[in-house]
């Protein structure tokens, strides 16, 4: 009986550890407490300065999803825009970064090819979309860079569990014909599913 109890406790602890890995962990940046620090631990967080506001991940919105269709990958960051990361005011926002991938993508482990990859978002083959408050914004990209600084395969109990993508992004664009800037962007997200569309 004792043996089964110990096994049950170990299984319970392992499942709690995995459930906690789905949550967003916010570690404040030393220079700006409203931004998450740049990390490479799979904290499911991202953040950026957006003009005089912040764009950041929350626990009630899945921060990142990745889809692949017809040789194009879309890396999506979803969160809130507000004057501070602790504010419940503001609005939902999603950025869609789309760029070509030359390698076959069928499983989250295939994301390892993104390690140290710079994406110049102004390239004609790339596309950037923004959705705010459930409507697509008409934006014109002036400059943009997405950098996958580190991509690592995480194993838990000797089994592959997820890929951790960590990196940075910067954008300058016209929105409603006025220039806007998203700066100091950083992300650290764990991906367990790759959505391959027909």
What is the per-residue DSSP string for 12-33? Answer: HHHHHHHHHTTS----B-SS-T
pLDDT bucket at 11, cuts 50 / 70 / 90 = very low
Residue 27 confidence (pLDDT) above 60: yes
pLDDT bucket at 50, cuts 50 / 70 / 90 = very high
- The string of DSSP letters for 105-168 reads --SGGGGGGGTTEEEETTSTT-EEEEEETTEEE-EEEEEEEEEEEEEEEEEETTEEEEEEEEEE
Say if residues 56 and 63 touch (Cβ distance below 8 Å): no
Pairing of the two strands 45-50 and 53-56: antiparallel
Q: What's the confidence (pLDDT) of residue 90?
A: 84
pLDDT bucket at 85, cuts 50 / 70 / 90 = confident
The values of phi and psi at residue 39, to 5°, are -135, 165
Query: Which H helix or E strand runs over 82?
Result: strand 72-82
The structural domains of the chain, with segments of one domain joined by +, span 25-196
Round the average pLDDT of the chain to a whole number and report it: 89
Q: What's the confidence (pLDDT) of residue 88?
A: 66
Chain centroid to CA 29: 17
Q: What value does the mean pLDDT take over residues 51-55?
A: 96
pLDDT bucket at 2, cuts 50 / 70 / 90 = very low
What is the share, in percent, of the chain residues with pLDDT greater than 90? 78
pTM score over 0.75:
yes
Say if residues 180 and 52 touch (Cβ distance below 8 Å): no
Q: What value does the mean pLDDT take over residues 156-164?
A: 92
CA dihedral sign of residues 103, 21, 97, 137: positive
Residue pLDDT, tens place only, 95-119: 999 999 999 999 999 999 999 999 9
Tell me which of 8 and 185 has the higher pLDDT: 185
């Amino acid at each position: 009986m004792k043996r089964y109890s110990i096994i049950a406790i170990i299984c319970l602890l392992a499942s709690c550890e995995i459930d906690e890995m789905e949550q967003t962990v916010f570690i404040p940046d030393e220079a700006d407490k409203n931004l998450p620090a740049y990390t490479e631990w799979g904290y499911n967080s991202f953040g950026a300065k957006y003009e005089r506001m912040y764009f950041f991940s929350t626990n009630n919105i899945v921060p990142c999803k990745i889809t692949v269709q017809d040789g194009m990958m879309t890396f999506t960051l979803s969160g809130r825009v507000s004057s501070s990361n602790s504010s419940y005011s503001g609005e939902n926002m999603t950025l869609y970064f789309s760029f070509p991938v030359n390698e076959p993508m069928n499983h989250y482990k295939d994301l390892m090819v993104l390690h140290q990859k710079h994406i110049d978002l102004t390239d004609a083959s790339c596309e950037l979309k923004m959705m705010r408050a459930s409507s697509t914004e008409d934006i014109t990209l002036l400059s943009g860079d997405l950098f996958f600084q580190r991509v690592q395969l995480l194993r838990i109990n000797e089994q592959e569990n997820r890929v951790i993508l960590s990196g940075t992004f910067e954008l300058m664009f016209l929105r409603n014909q006025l220039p806007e800037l998203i700066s100091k962007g950083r992300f650290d997200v764990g991906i367990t599913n790759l959505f391959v569309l027909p």
